Amino acid sequence: MTDIALALIKPNPFRDFDLHPIDDAQVEKLTASIDADGFWASVVARQVENGYEIAFGHHRVAAAKLLKRTAIPVEVRELSDWQMVRMLASENATQRGSTAAACIDAVAAISRMLAYHLLRGGKEPGVVKNLTTLGVDYAVCRGLLERGGGIGRSCIAAFAPKDAFSRAQIDMALGILKDSGRMATIVAEAQARAAHELHSALARWPTTRRRRRCVPSASPAGGWRSACGPGGRRSARASCMRSTATGRGGVPNMPASGGCPANAARVY
């Protein structure tokens, strides 16, 4: 446990405060409790550039600020996006009483994390592994996303903490997110982030190697693989570079197996 200055503490990046704002009444209760008994409940966070992102405990942090505390005890761990989302959803379900706002926020957080990692083709190996372990078909989830269907209920239900939210609650949350246009925004933001990182990776590849020998090639799974044969020689099949063209719903078109997609530039 480490005392961390409140000025360095940042919220969970997957929490949407428009969907699930801070409850002032809850903060007042916590303020009285902390003032009387101290800050006894720990907050879990991960270290990031210029600070610490908390997984949960936003109301406790708000109460500490109201009491003019300068630092609070924090348990710092190495946490993946997956863990940050799971902890947030669990906190919403157990501490917030599974309210509509808590459920919508959890579903939005899971959707935000899944959309990005599905588009990146499993940048974080644990995401694909957990999907498989939970019985969720990665290809089906990604296919639904690419067709403009957002994140399916089966993916959300599998990633949500066990028994945290009922399927009816998840359906309700998905309906609200889609009808309000929030789901489209979540997917568009994930698409923009994934596309930026992929293009940045391509830009860092040496120009001479990119044009004459080894170039990043889009794979059906959505990641990047080498187009070189043994010894660095070019493979017989031309490699493909993803263009900025997108498919339905603003999601990048993915290459079909066996050749370059229509929206890819052929490189020799």
Backbone angles phi, psi at 266, to 5 degrees: -80, 130
Least confident of 66-75, 146-155, 169-178: 146-155
Q: List, in order, residues 6 or more apart from 222 with CB less than 8 Å away.
A: 118, 119, 120, 121, 122, 142, 254
pLDDT of residue 219: 41
Q: Which of 79, 105, 129 is the last residue of a domain?
A: 79
Q: List, in order, residues 6 or more apart from 66 with CB less than 8 Å away.
A: 27, 31
The residue behind tokens 């503490």 is 9
How many domains would you assign to the chain?
A: 3
Using DSSP's 3-state secondary structure scheme, residue 151 falls into: coil
pLDDT of residue 247: 45
pLDDT higher than 60, residue 244: no
pLDDT higher than 50, residue 214: no
d(CA 201, CA 216) in angstroms, rounded, equals 9
pLDDT higher than 50, residue 202: yes
pLDDT > 70 fraction of the chain, expressed in percent and rounded: 72
Cβ atoms of 26 and 59 closer than 8 Å: yes
Question: Cα-Cα-Cα-Cα dihedral of 243, 244, 247, 253, to 10°?
Answer: 30
Mean pLDDT of the chain: 76
Do 18 and 106 lie in one domain? The reply is: no
pLDDT > 90 fraction of the chain, expressed in percent and rounded: 32
d(CA 94, CA 97) in angstroms, rounded, equals 6
Do 117 and 196 lie in one domain? The reply is: yes
Do 126 and 194 lie in one domain? The reply is: yes
Do 198 and 97 lie in one domain? The reply is: yes
pLDDT higher than 50, residue 267: no
pLDDT of residue 177: 93
Predicted confidence band at 243 (pLDDT cuts at 50, 70, 90)?
very low
Rg for the chain (alpha carbons), in Å? 22
Q: Which of 60, 79, 98 is the last residue of a domain?
A: 79
pLDDT of residue 207: 55
pLDDT of residue 36: 87
Cβ atoms of 87 and 126 closer than 8 Å: no
Q: Which of 34, 57, 79 is the last residue of a domain?
A: 79
Least confident of 34-43, 97-106, 108-117, 255-264: 255-264
Do 101 and 179 lie in one domain? The reply is: yes
Strands 216-218 and 224-226: antiparallel
1 against 251, higher pLDDT: 1
Do 166 and 52 lie in one domain? The reply is: no
pLDDT of residue 118: 83
Do 161 and 88 lie in one domain? The reply is: yes
69: CATH: 3.90.1530.10
d(CA 212, CA 232) in angstroms, rounded, equals 11
109-148 pLDDT, tens digit per residue, is: 999 888 888 887 656 666 677 777 777 777 888 888 888 8
Return the closest-CA partner of residue 116 out of 70, 91, 93, 85: 85
Do 38 and 102 lie in one domain? The reply is: no
Do 61 and 171 lie in one domain? The reply is: no
Least confident of 8-12, 28-32, 140-144, 166-170: 140-144
pLDDT higher than 70, residue 25: yes
Predicted confidence band at 261 (pLDDT cuts at 50, 70, 90)?
very low
- Burial pattern 43-57, b for ≥16 Cβ within 10 A else e, equals bbbbeeeeebbbbbb
Domain with 239 in it? 205-267
Predicted confidence band at 46 (pLDDT cuts at 50, 70, 90)?
very high
